[in-house]
Structure 1
Amino acid sequence: MNLPQHPNPWQTVSTRETYANPWIRVREDQVLKPTGGPGIYGVVEYKNIAVGVIPIDAEGHTWLVGQWRYCHGSYEWEIPEGGCPAGESPAEAARRELLEETGIVASTIEPLLSGIQLSNSTSNEVCDIFIATGLTHTEAQPEDTEQLEVLRLPLAEAIQMARDGRIRDSVSVLALLAVAGRGDLIA
């Protein structure tokens, strides 16, 4: 089914940067709204693409990463995930994040979802999600901003955690539900 496409009803009058760091840029646009009246639109621009990866071993288990999430003030369980800077492919970034966070090396990285818009009303952040198989193990190499706990569990249990709210990270929930929808990966 071809969905209808529509022209942009917003008109940008001016743009100014209000904040920037190595990961994000925040801008405020003066706009004419679709109704024609003046307004402002705040946009968070991400400098990296987000990547997530679900490692699945031959026994049908996966790994979650637990860490304190500063913005939400809570400890969260997630699939391994991180950022893909310019010049690195999303698949290679997924491999790197998997190694850094869990110590897992994957012989195969398969795309699961691509170009997912994580918060399209306020940011341009997109995410590519992968499945990793053919796993071997070495030592994790977390960044200095990460204090991680790694948990191996049945993939079906991780999917249930996404369904019942024990996993709340949007990338993780989306990835686990997409894997559940495939059905061929659950032991």
Structure 2
Amino acid sequence: MEEINPWQTLESELKYDNNWISVTEHQVINPSGGNGIYGEVHFKNVAIGILPLDENYNTWLVGQYRYPLKAYSWEIPEGGGALDKEPLDGAKRELLEETGMSAKNWQEIQRMHLSNSVSDELSVIYVATDLIQGIAMPEETEQLIVKKLPFEEAYQMVLTGKITDSMSVAAILKAKLMILNGDL
């Protein structure tokens, strides 16, 4: 099977637009030849996640209420970065804002699309090490609880479904594999 686009776009209409996302409805002919619609969410930022790890393999999670889920969520420090800037710059800013920490060492461990059936949102995930504690400066929309815990406990939270955020799950599972392989 060739890697070609089997979709044909007939018409597109912007349905919603704000500073963070836009939603477009496309009139299409689908891969089977039928008429249909396809809704596409375009993100105006890169999603950024940071897994801070100290020399004893402790990490930090950020807890907050997530409005779309109507539920509380434990996550790695996360945020957004401008599409035209280096994701690492956004990662450094987000780690400082949410935890008050900075790091001397940064390693990109994963790039992934968060929901590629309906959106183009790209995520870049880093491990931050050689940490320096400062003062957190969360945004006004963030009411955060920051919790230090052993990395293994965060890993168990993923395995038991207590962490469901996709970037957090991916970061923790990838880091666990890297630790087992001696790459981290």
TM-score range, shorter chain: over 0.9
Q: Please, which of 113, 118, 125 is the counterpart of residue 117 of structure 1?
A: 113
1:1-187 matched pairs, under 5 angstroms: 5-114=2-111, 116-183=112-179, 184=182
CA displacement, residues 16-66 of structure 1 (integer Å, 9 cap, x when unaligned):
100011000000000011111111000000000101000001121000000
Q: TM-score, normalized by length of structure 2?
A: 0.96
Q: TM-score, normalized by length of structure 1?
A: 0.94
- Aligned-CA RMSD value: 1.2
Letter in 2 for 1:13: L
CA displacement, residues 88-144 of structure 1 (integer Å, 9 cap, x when unaligned):
211111111000000001111111002x01101111111010000110011101011
Distance in 2, matches of 1:88 and 1:49, equals: 9
The SS at the match of 2:118 is coil
The SS at the match of 1:13 is strand
Query: 1:113, 1:129 within 8 Å by CA — same for their partners in 2?
Result: yes
Letter in 2 for 1:155: F
Distance in 1, matches of 2:121 and 2:21, equals: 10
The SS at the match of 2:93 is helix
- After superposing on structure 2, the runs of 4+ consecutive aligned residues of structure 1 that deviate more than 3 Å are none
Pairwise CA distance, 1:185: 7.1
Structure 1: runs of 5 or more not aligned: none
The SS at the match of 1:171 is helix
Structure 2: runs of 5 or more not aligned: none
Q: Size of the alignment, in residue pairs?
A: 182
The SS at the match of 2:155 is helix
Pairwise CA distance, 1:5: 4.6
Query: 1:95, 1:109 within 8 Å by CA — same for their partners in 2?
Result: no
The SS at the match of 1:94 is helix
